[in-house]
Chains A and B, each alone.
Chain A
Amino acid sequence: DAKTTQPPSMDCAEGRAANLPCNHSTISGNEYVYWYRQIHSQGPQYIIHGLKNNETNEMASLIITEDRKSSTLILPHATLRDTAVYYCIVRAYNQGGKLIFGQGTELSVKP
């Protein structure tokens, strides 16, 4: 079973920041938070991952609370092409193998 909880859907206006929350209250000390997204009819795409510090790359920022029980993925200037299902996944960094996907959040970016 997925170890994360996400809202099923969210809307965002084009050009505004999209903030996608994820709860992972049972996360272990050696588990990282990963985010993937899946655009319609495509395979999932890696976005970002982090342990406890905030992380930023060219796609997004990841904010993890101090107690690590929740996190937020931030798309700073959402575009229509960011419309997708976003998945938050927790797993140990040194654990090879499977990703356990939950239902994810369906983000709709509207003009």
Chain B
Amino acid sequence: GAGVSQTPSNKVTEKGKYVELRCDPISGHTALYWYRQSLGQGPEFLIYFQGTGAADDSGLPNDRFFAVRPEGSVSTLKIQRTERGDSAVYLCASSPQAGFSYNEQFFGPGTRLTVL
């Protein structure tokens, strides 16, 4: 079956611009996670959704970062006034549920964001 998909696969933007990154989770998965990964580092948690609501956004670095999941499926990560330090691979993952569950997370291939 279809896995987690992310679009675009690559995004190049200029400092100060606004970007949106999209994640399509596995159908039926109620939990959705965003991570970002800098070169040579492990993935760093940003935010996760249970259904439509953000259950934990403690990893968002500042108020330039925002994510939504209005219908409980597709999610969009939004970054305002991009900075060169935002350059990274942004990973999305989903799992059947995030509570008392078998906690395997299924990851997408990521979106590589480059801020010039």
Where the two chains meet, the residues of A that have a C-beta atom closer than 8 Å to any C-beta of B are 2, 32, 34, 41-46, 49, 85, 87, 91, 93-94, 96-104
Contact = CB atoms under 8 A, between A and B. Distances in A.
B104 A87 contact: no
Nearest to B40: A103
B100 A94 contact: yes
Contacts of A46: 104-106
Nearest to B31: A96
Contacts of B105: 44, 46, 99
A93 B33 CA distance: 17
Kindly state the interface size class of chain B when it binds its partner. Answer: 20 to 34
Q: Which of A34, A98, A101 has the most CB of B within 10 A?
A: A98
The 5 closest A-B pairs by CB, nearest first: A43-B107, A101-B42, A96-B98, A98-B45, A46-B104
B27 interface: no
B59 A96 contact: no
Interface in B7-65: 31, 33, 35, 41-45, 48, 50, 55-56, 59
Contacts of A45: 107
A19 to B, nearest CB: 21
B42 A104 contact: yes
A94 B98 CA distance: 8
Nearest to A98: B45
Given A32-B103, A44-B107, A96-B101, 10 more contacts: A42-B107, A43-B110, A44-B91, A93-B103, A94-B100, A96-B50, A97-B55, A97-B56, A98-B59, A99-B33
